[in-house]
Amino acid sequence: MRLVLIIAFLVVSVITIFIAYAHASVPKVLFFEDGQSEMYTGVERYIKDTGSKIKIVPLRIDRDLRDIEKSLSQYRRSYAVGPRTSSQVEKLLSLLEKYEIFAIAPTVTSPAVLGKSNYLLSLATSDEVQVKHIASLLADYNSILVFTDADNPVYCDAFYELLTSYLPTKKITRILVSNIDEMKITSLPTDFDAALFVTEGRKAGMMAQQLRSGGFDGVLVGSDYVYSDVLLQIGSKAVEGMIVYNLFDKASMQKKDFTDMAAAGCYDAMHVVEFLIRQGIEPRLAGEYLVGKTFSVATGSFTINENLWAERKPSFVVVENGNFVNWRGR
């Protein structure tokens, strides 16, 4: 009887140790969320497509910084996907460094945060590249109305400064969009021949509706920030013909059946995270390890440069019949 008990004890001990080891060996990856479902869609798609065993730990970042730090302190030396905006990155950057959390923010583009830390990687090009191409597109217009988003000042302020430096002789009027419901077409200037949207897609769609309803029939241009399914849904016919900067490769996204840039970016962020985990790279060494690495995934082919953002071929899309299609130029 005693022998049976000893054997039973040993079996239970082995099973307990095995379960504990299996649980501990499952990598945990943080997902910085703010209520925008498009990003998480990309994470879910990656896990479904690849059968990845990574455990996603959602962490809300639209709350007090002290509460965020309390959560982050439990996940020292981890990997993370997100955040979504440059302003959110600025808020979190010191905490990422403090707790050695390497974050891949796939669509963050502002030079105000890119290249500032070895704990932040973007899968997009810097706005220094984007704004140069948008300025070239707007070079033939004399008076430009620029809508910027009050909810993402880090991105918008740097973007606007770059734009004015590239187009010093143009008349550029900046409109700060906060509460879209309070913005009325009567409050806007009338002497402009081009409109540039540096806002999230919902605000861009609603402002385009107001512009078209007010009789404006000039060119509409959007930064990468407007590129989303929401722009098409909210803007509807008002955004037909809008030319939008595309951070990623449209054909590659279509092959993976992605229409939303944030979702595709998070899909690829998961790919890079799993690559690092499989290589056994610690988060504190990930930035240095990735420099010069090339990936070909859902958003196309890109190479990570020394500033930890992706070098890619720039492109524009245009809204046609309610869809984004490659823009072939004038």
Which of 246, 274, 303 is a domain's end point? 246
Q: Same domain, yes or no, for 18 and 105? A: yes
Question: 227 in a domain, yes or no?
Answer: yes
Q: Same domain, yes or no, for 174 and 218? A: yes
Q: Same domain, yes or no, for 117 and 266? A: yes
Sheet holding 143-149, edge to edge: 171-177, 143-149, 194-198, 219-222, 243-246, 315-320, 323-326
Q: Based on C-alpha coordinates, what's the Rg of the chain?
A: 23
Q: Same domain, yes or no, for 216 and 151? A: yes
Which of 246, 269, 303 is a domain's end point? 246
Q: Same domain, yes or no, for 180 and 120? A: no
Spatial neighbors of 77 by CB under 8 A, at least 6 apart, are 99, 100, 101, 282, 283, 284
Q: Are 167 and 141 in contact (CB under 8 A)?
A: no
* Enclosing domain of residue 229: 127-246
Instruction: Give the pLDDT score at 4.
Output: 47
Q: Same domain, yes or no, for 18 and 120? A: yes
Question: 115 in a domain, yes or no?
Answer: yes
Q: Same domain, yes or no, for 148 and 224? A: yes
Q: Same domain, yes or no, for 29 and 99? A: yes
End-to-end CA separation in angstroms for the chain: 88
Q: Tokens representing 37?
A: 């479902």
Q: Same domain, yes or no, for 212 and 297? A: no
> What is the C-alpha separation between 91 and 65, in angstroms, rounded?
8
Q: Same domain, yes or no, for 113 and 182? A: no
3-state secondary structure of 300: strand
> What is the C-alpha separation between 8 and 15, in angstroms, rounded?
11
Question: 326 in a domain, yes or no?
Answer: no
Number of structural domains in the chain = 2
Question: 113 in a domain, yes or no?
Answer: yes
Q: Same domain, yes or no, for 225 and 302? A: no
pLDDT (tens digit per residue) in 219-258: 999 999 999 999 999 999 999 999 999 999 999 999 999 9
Question: 328 in a domain, yes or no?
Answer: no
Question: Is the preceding omega at residue 27 within 30 degrees of 0, hence cis?
Answer: no
Question: 330 in a domain, yes or no?
Answer: no
Question: 317 in a domain, yes or no?
Answer: no
Instruction: Give the pLDDT score at 189.
Output: 75
Residue 145 belongs to a domain with what CATH number? 3.40.50.2300
Question: 324 in a domain, yes or no?
Answer: no
| Tens of each residue's pLDDT in the chain, 330 residues | 555 445 544 444 444 433 333 344 689 999 999 987 789 999 999 999 999 999 999 999 999 999 999 999 999 999 999 999 999 999 999 999 999 999 999 999 999 999 999 999 999 999 999 999 999 999 999 999 999 999 999 999 999 999 999 999 999 999 999 876 656 655 677 789 999 999 999 999 999 999 999 899 999 999 999 999 999 999 999 999 999 999 999 999 999 999 889 999 999 999 999 999 999 999 999 999 999 999 999 999 999 999 999 999 889 999 999 999 999 886
Closest to 106 (Cα-Cα) out of 300, 277, 313: 300
Q: Are 114 and 309 in contact (CB under 8 A)?
A: yes
Instruction: Give the pLDDT score at 168.
Output: 97
Q: Are 108 and 130 in contact (CB under 8 A)?
A: no
Q: Same domain, yes or no, for 293 and 232? A: no
